[in-house]
Structure 1
Amino acid sequence: MHDDTVSREGSFSETRDATGHPVRPPRRRFQARAQGVLAILVAVLTLYTLGRFREAVAWGGILAIVCWPLVRRVRAHWASRHADTLIPAGVVVAIGLAFAAPVLLIGTEVAKETHDATQWFQQARQDGIPAPAWLGELPYEQAQAQRWWQANLADPSGVQDLMHRLKPEQALGTVEQIGHGAANGTVLLMFSLLVLFFLLRSGREVSGRITVLTDRLFGVRGEMVLKQIVGAVRGSMAGLVLVGLGEGVLIGISYVIAGAPQPLLLGILTAVASMIPMLGGFAVAIAVLLILMKGSVGAAVAVGVFGLLVLFLADHFIRPVLIGGSIRLPFVWVLLGILGGLETWGLVGLFVGPVLMAVAHLIWRFGSARGMLRAGE
C-alpha cells in the first residue's frame, strides 16, 4: 500500500506539460495556495499584535540596514570569537548615546532657563516689557511700532491682558502632552535598540534568509526590489540625517558669530528640523527673531540670508542626489515620499515613504519598459 502511494506520487511528480515543465497535482496546488494564505494571515495578525511596537521594529530594521555595512567591515578586521556580540553592542551603545546626549543637553538647558523665564514673566507682569532698541532702527513705521509697543507691552496691564489671552493652563496641558510623548518615545527607543542588537548579531543569517525568501517568492526581480529597498533606506539616512546634521553645524556657526542666545540649542533645533525638507526654515526664523530681540538687526538679516541659502542648496541639490541618486529615483518622487510618508506614518515615514516610492518607481520602470517593447513590436 505504501509502495503504491509512493509510485503514484512519483508519477505525479514526473508528469510534465507540453513545454517540459513539471505539473503539480491538484492537491499540491491547493496546499501551496493554502500555505500562502496562511502565511499572509499570520503576517497580518503578527503586525496587528505588535501594536505600537511596530514602530520600534521598523526603526530597528531601518537602523540595521544602515549599520550592517559598518558591522561587516569591523568584523572583517576583528577575529575575536566574541565579535559577533561585542560589535553590535558597541553600535547600539553609540546610537543610544547619540540620541541621549542631545536630549540630556536640552533638558539641562531647559531646566536652567525655566527659572530665569519664570522670573522674567513675573517682572514683566509687574513692570512691563521695555521697547527694544531696534524698533527705532526700522526703515518704515517706526512711530507706529513704538506706540503699539508702549500701549500693549510696556504697560504692565497690557502684559497681564496678553498673558490672560495666551491661557497658560493650555500651555501647561501642552507641556504635559510633550512629557508623555517623550516618555513614550524613550520606551520605543529602548525597544528599537533591542531589536537592532539582535538583528546585527544575527545579520548574516537574517540577510541570507531574506534573500532566499525573496528569490522564492519573486524570483530575480525580487532581488532587484530588495536592493532598491536597501538603497532607499541608506540613501534616506544619508540625505535626511547626515545632511540635516551638516546644515545644523553650518547654520549653528552663524548663530555663534551673530551672538544669538543659546547658539548650541538653536543649532541642535536647526539640525533636527532640517532633517525634514522645508522645515529647517522655521528654526532659522526663530533664531532670527531671538537675535532681533537683542537689538542686532544686521546680524539677524545676515543669519537669515545665510541660513536660507544653506537650506536651499542642501534641499535642492545635495539631498536629492544622496536619496535618489543610487536608486535612480527622481526628485519629485523623493519629495513626495518624504512628505507623504511623514504625514501618514509619522517620523518613521521619513524612511518608509522613500522606500515605497522607490519600489513603485521600479515597478513603473518594469511595466513601462514592457509596454514600450510591445508597442515597438
Structure 2
Amino acid sequence: CSASHHKTAVTVGIPLVAPFAIIAIWAGILAVALYPVFRALSALFGGRPRLAAAAITLLALLVIAGPLAAIALSFAEAVQAGLGKLAAGTLSVPAPPDAVRDWPLIGHRLHDAWAQASGNLEATLQRLAPSLLQAGGTVLGKIAGIGVDLIGFIVSVIIAGFLFRPGPRLGEGLKLFARRVAGERGAGFVDLAAATIRNVARGVIGVALLQALLAGLAFSLFGIPAASVLAFAVLIFCIMQIGPAPVLLPVVVWAWTAMETRAALGLTLVLVLIGLIDNVLKPVLVARGLKTPMLVILAGVIGGTLSYGLIGLFLGPIVLGVFYDLVVAWMRSAPGQEDGTRPV
C-alpha cells in the first residue's frame, strides 16, 4: 500500500514540478551563456559582482524579455483579430499583384489560388475547413499559453541573475560530480556542455533575436502590415538556421508593388543589412565555429516549441545541441582515453 501511495505521489508531483524545472534549466542556460559578460562587468565595476549581476539582469529584461514579450503579444493579438474577423465574416483578402505571376516555379499557381481566395473567400475556406479547424485548435492552444510562457521567461531571467555570483562554485560542484561518475572525461564533458551552450545561445539564439527585433522595428517604421507576425516569423526562421530570407524577400517584393520607389528602396536596403547580420556576427560570437548541424537545431526548435511553448523555442535547440555534442565527443573518444572532450 505504501508503495502504491509513493507511486501515486510521484505521478502527481512530476507534472507540478515540470514547469518549474523548465524555468530552472533555462535560467541555468542563461547564466552559463552570459557569465563571460558578468565577469567583464564585474571587473569594469571595480570588483562589485552584485552590481554586475543586477545590471545584466535589468539589461536582459529590457533587451530580451521586453521586446520578445511585445512581439509575442502582438503576434497573439494579430492572430486573434484575424480569427475574430474570420468568425464574423468580415475578413477579406486583397487581390494579388500581377507581378506574382512572374515568380519562378510557383508564380501562376500562387496567383490563381490568391485570386480565388480574394474573389470568393467563403468557398475557399469551406474547401480548406477540415485542415483549418485542426490547425486552428492547435494555434489557439499555443496562443493561450503565450502569457504563461512570457511570465516563465521573465522569471528565468531573474533567477539567472542570482546564479552569476555562485556560478564558479556551482560549476566546480558539477565537475566534481561528473568526475566521480566518469572520471576526467566527465569533467571535460561539463566544459564541452558549457562551450556548446555559449555557442548556440550567442550564435543562434542571440543573433536570431537581434535580427527579429531589427526586422520588427523596420516593418513598423515603414508601415508594413502585420509587422509583429512577420517579426515572429523572422525569429523562428533564424533560430532554425534557415535565415530571414523566406520572410524578407516577399516583403521586399510586396514593397516594390505597393509602396513608392524611394520608400521601397529604403526598406530593401535596411532588410538586406538585417539579412547579412548573421554573416558578420556569428564568426565573432561563436568560438571555433558552430559545429552543431542545422538538422539538430531544427529538431530542437520543433520539439521544444511543441513540448514547452515559447521557452521551448529557445530551450530546445540548446539542449539538443548539448546532447548531440556530448554524444559525438563520447563516441569519438577511445575506450581507455581519460579525456574524451576533443572539439567536435
C-alpha contact 2:72 2:146 (8 A) present in aligned 1: no
Residue 74 (structure 1) aligned with residue 74 (structure 2): no
Q: Displacement, 1:241?
A: 2.0
Query: For the aligned residues, what is the CA RMSD?
Result: 5.0
Of 288, 295, 307 in structure 2, the residue corresponding to residue 325 of structure 1 is: 288
- Spell out, residue by residue over 1:7-43, the C-alpha distance to the aligned partner (whole angstroms, 9 max, x if none): xxxxxxxxxxxxxxxxxxxxxxxxxxxxxxxxxxxxx
Correspondence 1:156-171 to 2 at 5 A = 158-165=120-127
Of 305, 324, 340 in structure 2, the residue corresponding to residue 357 of structure 1 is: 324
C-alpha contact 2:300 2:319 (8 A) present in aligned 1: yes
Of 247, 252, 255 in structure 2, the residue corresponding to residue 283 of structure 1 is: 247
The corresponding residue for 1:188 is 152
The alignment partner of 1:367 has SS state of coil
The alignment partner of 2:164 has SS state of helix
- Spell out, residue by residue over 1:50-86, the C-alpha distance to the aligned partner (whole angstroms, 9 max, x if none): 3232211110110010111222222234357xx4444
- Spell out, residue by residue over 1:217-253, the C-alpha distance to the aligned partner (whole angstroms, 9 max, x if none): 3333233212111110000012202332454477679
Alpha-carbon distance between aligned partners in 2 of 1:277 and 1:196, rounded to the nearest angstrom: 26
The alignment partner of 1:232 has SS state of helix
C-alpha contact 1:334 1:357 (8 A) present in aligned 2: no
The corresponding residue for 1:29 is none
The corresponding residue for 1:25 is none
Correspondence 1:139-178 to 2 at 5 A = 139=102, 153-154=118-119, 158-165=120-127, 173=137, 176-178=140-142
- Percent identical pairs in the alignment equals 19
Distance 1:283 1:121, change over 3 A: farther
Residue 237 (structure 1) aligned with residue 204 (structure 2): no
Of 284, 295, 299 in structure 2, the residue corresponding to residue 340 of structure 1 is: 299
Correspondence 1:286-301 to 2 at 5 A = 287=251, 290-291=254-255, 294=258
Alpha-carbon distance between aligned partners in 1 of 2:219 and 2:251, rounded to the nearest angstrom: 8
C-alpha contact 2:300 2:316 (8 A) present in aligned 1: yes
Q: Displacement, 1:182?
A: 0.6
Distance 1:59 1:282, change over 3 A: same
- Spell out, residue by residue over 1:131-185, the C-alpha distance to the aligned partner (whole angstroms, 9 max, x if none): 45x327845999999998777634xxx2333355565877875564233221231
C-alpha contact 1:266 1:287 (8 A) present in aligned 2: no
Of 91, 116, 119 in structure 1, the residue corresponding to residue 56 of structure 2 is: 91
C-alpha contact 1:341 1:351 (8 A) present in aligned 2: yes
Alpha-carbon distance between aligned partners in 1 of 2:316 and 2:286, rounded to the nearest angstrom: 14
Q: Displacement, 1:94?
A: 2.3
Residue 135 (structure 1) aligned with residue 102 (structure 2): no
Residue 198 (structure 1) aligned with residue 198 (structure 2): no
The alignment partner of 1:278 has SS state of coil
Letter paired with 2:57: V
C-alpha contact 1:225 1:359 (8 A) present in aligned 2: yes
C-alpha contact 2:196 2:325 (8 A) present in aligned 1: yes
Distance 1:363 1:308, change over 3 A: farther
Residue 220 (structure 1) aligned with residue 175 (structure 2): no
The corresponding residue for 2:6 is none
The corresponding residue for 1:56 is 23
Q: List runs of 5+ in structure 1 lacking aligned partners.
A: 1-45, 371-377
Alpha-carbon distance between aligned partners in 1 of 2:195 and 2:94, rounded to the nearest angstrom: 55
C-alpha contact 2:93 2:118 (8 A) present in aligned 1: yes
Distance 1:123 1:135, change over 3 A: farther
Distance 1:160 1:365, change over 3 A: closer
Q: List runs of 5+ in structure 2 lacking aligned partners.
A: 1-12, 306-312, 338-344
Q: Scaled by the length of structure 2, what TM-score is found?
A: 0.65
Distance 1:362 1:111, change over 3 A: closer
The corresponding residue for 1:39 is none
C-alpha contact 1:324 1:334 (8 A) present in aligned 2: no
Q: Displacement, 1:268?
A: 5.4
Alpha-carbon distance between aligned partners in 2 of 1:110 and 1:84, rounded to the nearest angstrom: 38
Number of residues of Structure 1 aligned to a counterpart in Structure 2: 309
Alpha-carbon distance between aligned partners in 2 of 1:309 and 1:105, rounded to the nearest angstrom: 17
Distance 1:173 1:123, change over 3 A: closer
